[in-house]
Structure 1
Amino acid sequence: MSSTSIAGMTAPALAAAADDNLVVHAGWVHERLAGAHVARGGGLVLVDSGLPCDTFNFVLRARLPAAEARERAEQAIAYFRRAGRPFSWWVGPADEPAHLGELLCAAGLEAAESELGMAADLEALRAPPPAPRDLEIRRARTPAEVRDFARLNAANWTPPDPYVMQFYEMATPALLSEASPLWLYVGYLGDTPVATAELTVGGGVVGLYNISTLAPYRRRGIGSAMTLRPLLDARAAGFRAAVLQASEDGAGVYARVGFVATGRITEYKPPAVP
């Protein structure tokens, strides 16, 4: 990617904006939930939902001086160990120091997943192949639509993760407030919810998260439609750039809409307990 190819933003600026957006995605709701905790300081952001579920517990946006990085990383890891809750630490191109991943492994974590960071100029979006005519994409405006969003996301685990349902039930009032920077979308075929998307506003960009389609409905253009609709809404609202994290399977879908690769983001976790 050239340094100015995405809405006039350089690659370092995009990486920093993506981190800021991820913090909003991961922590905005938590700051409004009883029992949750968000700590900003010491060169990183720690997000604790209070639930025993690493889907909602994070360490993010590390900007650690090299001389203090090991100690501060160990302190953050020790926090979750004391709490007895699983978590993940996300490391992207803007995180510091550059050898942070090595420090995390030395502190007892291991690299669990690596995804492709991508970005798109919202003025240069490309239309994906047509989706099913009876697909209706709704921005979630009611508790029932938030429950549909939660059920579909919980189904990404086998069996479905009950803590996902619990989190979104607690989060519904915040998510449905006019001030919410998290816009949830649900795709319906008839009365059946089949797909989700989330758009987060933050860091001067918008971020796409939770793009998901139930297995029986994949390869029908639904995922591309769920990707494009939030981006068009964001463009209409005046935003110029979008970011996301893509799995290997999803990268092609996003590239067809207009996203280009910007770097890799790696998730570090404590080792699984046998």
Structure 2
Amino acid sequence: MKYSLSAKNLVCRNLENHASYCAGLLNPNHTKEITGIVRSDSGLLSGRLNQVVSNSVMPPRILQRFALDYFAERHSPFTLWHSASKPQDDSALAEMGLQRRQSQVAMAAEIQRLSPDAAAGADENEKLVISSVKKEDLASYAEVQAAGCGSVQEGAQLKKFYRALVDIPEQKRARLKFVLARLEGTPVAAGCLFASADALGLYDLVTLEAYRSRGIGRALFRHLLQQAQASHHRSLVALAPANKQQLPLDCGFFAVGEVARYVYSP
């Protein structure tokens, strides 16, 4: 893999595919695309599940008509990810109601070169059990994701999403591999691998606040890397806050660009 624009595009394609796949599980055929922008509508009032991914700078009126007007009519929040090399006009987007949030670092790795052991902690808790999520575990996974999102409203929508997956045949959602970490039987952390055609993506890694700084997140991250190494994919991609990129870097990822993030709340 060449760690350049092509690697950043790999991250953003996976982000587009992940957004459309998750939305389509509940709301089929509600991902739309025009040149340079993809819009996915989950049918829920969720800023995390309703996403717009832009890979080119376009006039604000295009974003207004294609994304903002669409979700505003439905009184629904959404997240805009902007991955182009040239930035958007933040002030123009703010006037439209799109507020800039912390950017994410696009990261990519060749799976065969990953070093999961770099994520190992010296004091890993022997009482921590990390396992794949089965149908009967989806409610517990939902609780962890909801608690980690920082918003009661968003958490309620995430619970609806994950609990709705119980009624969807596993083969129809097979591209999502959920993982749950339990400490002495209590769910404390969760994360997901998403398989697109050209890469695996790491998503939604969260550790409950009361259990942070205890090596649990590192153990979960290591487990997901080991799961990736058992797949047939060549590449693994992720988005990470700038202050949390050191662990992926230590394990074999490369930072390949910045992805700006904006949120709309009606």
Fold match (TM-score > 0.5)? yes
Residues 1:215 and 1:82: Cα distance change in structure 2 (over 3 Å): same
The alpha carbon displacement at 1:49 in A equals 1.6
- The answer on 1:23 being equivalent to 2:16 is yes
Gaps of 5+ in 2: none
Q: Is the 8 A contact 1:29 1:171 kept in 2?
A: no
- Indicate the residue corresponding to 1:155 in structure 2: 147
Which shifted more, 124-133 or 169-178?
169-178
Count of aligned residue pairs for this structure pair:
258
- Indicate the residue corresponding to 1:44 in structure 2: 37
Residues 1:111 and 1:182: Cα distance change in structure 2 (over 3 Å): same
The alpha carbon displacement at 1:174 in A equals 4.1
Secondary structure, counterpart of 1:80 in structure 2: helix
Aligned mates of 1:197, 1:269 — CA distance in 2: 22
TM-score (ref. length: structure 2)? 0.86
Residues 1:174 and 1:14: Cα distance change in structure 2 (over 3 Å): farther
Q: Is the 8 A contact 2:26 2:43 kept in 1?
A: no
Q: Please list, as runs of the form range in 1=range in 2, the aligned pairs for 1:185-204 lying within 5 A after superposition.
A: 185-204=179-198
1:121-141 per-position Cα deviation (integer Å, ceiling 9, x unaligned): 222222122431222111112
Residues 1:158 and 1:48: Cα distance change in structure 2 (over 3 Å): closer
Q: Please list, as runs of the form range in 1=range in 2, the aligned pairs for 1:49-128 lying within 5 A after superposition.
A: 49-63=42-56, 69-75=59-65, 76-92=67-83, 95=84, 98-102=86-90, 104-105=93-94, 107-126=96-115, 127=117, 128=119
Aligned mates of 2:40, 2:63 — CA distance in 1: 14
The alpha carbon displacement at 1:166 in A equals 0.7
TM-score (ref. length: structure 1)? 0.84
Q: Which residue identity is paired with 1:19?
A: C
Aligned mates of 1:70, 1:237 — CA distance in 2: 41
**Aligned alpha-carbon RMSD (Å):** 2.5
Among the aligned pairs, what percent are the same residue?
25
Q: Is the 8 A contact 1:207 1:243 kept in 2?
A: yes
Aligned mates of 1:129, 1:187 — CA distance in 2: 15
Gaps of 5+ in 1: 1-7
- Indicate the residue corresponding to 1:138 in structure 2: 131
Aligned mates of 2:78, 2:39 — CA distance in 1: 10
